[in-house]
Each structure stands twice: as C-alpha cells, then as structure tokens.
Amino acid sequence: MSSEVASPSFLSLPDEIILNCLAHISRSYYPKLSIVCKTFRTLIVSHELNVARWHLKTQETFLNVCLQLPDCPRPSMFALWIKPGQILTNHLEKNERSIGDTRLVQIPSSYYNNVPNYLIRVGSEVYGLRQRNDPSFNMFVCNKGDLYWRKVLNMTVARARALAHVLNGKIYVMGGCGDEESANWGEVFDINTQTWEPLPDPGAELRFSSIRRIEVIQGKLYVRSNEMKDSVYDPKEGKWDVTLKSPVQCSIDNVQYYCDKQSCCWYDTNSKKWREVKGLDMLNKNRRCGMIEIANYDGKLLVLWDKYFVHPGTCQIKDIWCAVIALERRVGSDEVWGNIEWANIVLTVPSSYVFMRSLLYWA
C-alpha cells in the first residue's frame, strides 16, 4: 500500500511532495525547517500537514519548555529534540559533561505563533490556547476526527500564554493579562452554552504573573505559580484561598507521581500513602537543588531539573538536565521501581534564567 497522502487540490505538485516528506519526518526538525523558506513555514503550520500525519500515523508526543532568559524581553519557547536513531545513555553515570543527542532547541516565533499548543481535551473535542507572546482573544476547538481548528466565542480579554483546565463541563482560563484587566484575570467557558463568565478577582496577592500549571484536586482548582505561594479556587463557593506549595505532580497509568529535591514518589491508593519509587538513588543524588519539573512522556516519567556549573574564569551558569524513566509495578509487591532509560544535559543557560512552565502535547 502506498504511504502517500492525498493533498488538497490547491497545493502545487512540488508542495504536495514537500508535504508528504514533512509528514514522514520527526516534528523535532520542524522549528529549524520553518526558517528555511516561506513555503516550508506555511506547510509546517498548515492543517493539511496535521491531517497527513494523522493518516500516516506519524504523530508524536512533544515537550515544549517556556523559559525567561535574562537577555530576552519576552519568554522563549524550546522543544525537546532527540536525535532520531540514536541509542541514548545515562550520563549521570559518567564524569564528563556533554550535550549531544538530546537538546532543548529554541523554537522560532514564526513557527509556534500560529499553532494552538496548549491543549485541553474534553470528550471528543480538543480546545487550544496559543502560547504566543502577543495577547489574543482567541480560543480554538477541533474534533479529534477531523483535526480542523475553528474559533469559539472570544474570551473577554486578550491573553498571552494563559493556562486552563476543564472541570465539570467548564474550561477555566487564568492569567496572561495585565494589571488593568485584574477583574477578568480568570474566566470560565461553559461548553454547553458556549458562553464566558468572569471568575471572582483573587486579589493582588494571588493574581500571579506567571502560572506554571493548573490542577484539579477533589473538585477544586489549584493554581501552581513560579512565586512563593500557590492558590486554590473552589467553584462551589466561588472563593479563592492561599494553599501550601507542593511538589510538581503528574499521572501515569492512573497512578499519581511527584518529585521533590529528595526523591520521586507514587501514591498508593490501597494504603493511601505516598511511597518512594525504588531504583533512583543516582537521580535523587543529582537533583538536590534548583528547578524540578515532571511529565507523563508516553507512559514514562520525564524529569527536568537544573544544576549550577561553575567553570574557572567564567560567570556562573546552570545546566538543565532531562531524564526519562520507565516505571514497573512488580507483581505481588507494593513497590514501584524506576529504570533510567537516559539522562543528559539538554541546555545550558545563565544562572538568572527563570523556568516558567512545560507543555506536553501529541501531534
């Protein structure tokens, strides 16, 4: 059977050939290819390429990272790039410091500005918010079957890099607007009525300028920030409150995990206790300070953290490390074991940088 995908009639033959080639290669190459020429850039952000990848079953899980660098006035987006065909190794076991087959590669604004890449899945539909630096009123929606993005009713204020979460058939959108829009810092979209309503103003103390993620726990929305405190919103009471900072968490195969500076743990629903993931002593030893982020990466635990690196005669910098861990629940035991499949430095940054958030999506 031919692997070619039928392209729309308005595409010229050379464009059809390029589209078919792009659909077969990893999306990790797209940011650099988007700056080759206008034709590449147009096809890379096109709906037709998404359809082609869907038909060819070449969709991938992708991790984007948003960083604020000291020499850039606006946040920068990076994508985790893994060199195809390479056997990745655990560099925690080695003494040398190297960056090679895995990297965080900066995404050109011409590439990510046109793609809704913060996704909220609701049943058979996917809603998307653009993570661009320029504020936008738009939220998009597509059906998983047709992959065609369309706009929903505009948000009440323009937002830049806002985050959202769904709860009880409503999408809660927060942040991404200026102080003058404090009354609408958060708003909620009712999927059934297709209407927006503002959330109560949390007040200056909890109106975070940088949101890392939004989580739902026991019917409440927990807003995790990059500041010294987090907040929680109770939709039933319509009230905001301060909540304790907690380690970053993610869910893998219906099991909750968290990592802090001491260990990685999983939640045992039988005993209702957090238990340590076994087999990660080397990882825990190398993750004693700095930023920590985790994510569900195709059913495996992905961990990001940073470490200071001081080279004689240079200013202080930080290495951002990444590790991917396969998890195993051993039969007949109440233990989860982790196997570090690979770990490496993926980016070196000035020590004053700020980690803002990570975004995981499948496309």
Q: How far is CA 76 from the centre of its chain?
A: 13
For 130, counting Cβ atoms within 10 Å of its Cβ (0-12 exposed, 13-18 middle, 19+ buried), the class is buried
At residue 10, the pLDDT reads 45
Report which of 236, 177, 237, 234 is spatially closest to residue 207, judged by C-alpha positions.
177
Q: CA 104, 101, 44, 117 torsion: positive or negative?
A: negative
Spatial separation of the C-alpha atoms in residues 303 and 85, rounded to whole Å: 22
Determine phi and psi for 315, rounding to 5 degrees: -75, 165
Which residue in this structure is represented by tokens 């065609």?
Answer: 148
DSSP state of 232: E
What's residue 327's pLDDT?
96
d(CA 183, CA 180): 8
CA dihedral 133, 324, 95, 290 (to 10 degrees): 50
Contact 247, 278 (CB under 8 A): no
Distance CA 18, CA 13 (A): 9
CB-based contact 101:91 (threshold 8 Å): no
- What per-residue confidence (pLDDT) applies to 132? 80
The answer to whether 334 and 275 have CB atoms below 8 angstroms apart is yes
CA 208 to chain centre: 19
* Amino acid at site 146: D
Instruction: Report pLDDT for 166.
Output: 95
Dist. CA 51–CA 57, nearest whole Å: 10
Q: Flag residues of the chain having pLDDT under 50.
A: 1-10
| Contact (CB, 8 A) for 31 and 49 | no
Closest CA to 304 of 323, 280, 288, 285: 323
Q: According to the model, what pLDDT value does residue 3 have?
A: 43
- pTM (2 d.p.): 0.83
The single residue listed with the structure tokens 């505009």 is 154
How much is the pLDDT for 86?
75
Residues 92 and 90: their CA atoms lie apart, in Å, by: 5
61-89: b (≥16 Cβ within 10 Å) or e: bbbbbbbbeeeeeebbbbbbbbeeeeeee
pLDDT (0 to 100) of residue 82: 81
- Between strands 211-217 and 220-225, the pairing is antiparallel
Instruction: Render pLDDT for 1-42 as a digit per residue (tens, 0 to 9).
Output: 334 444 444 456 578 888 888 888 887 788 778 788 888 888
pLDDT of residue 5: 41
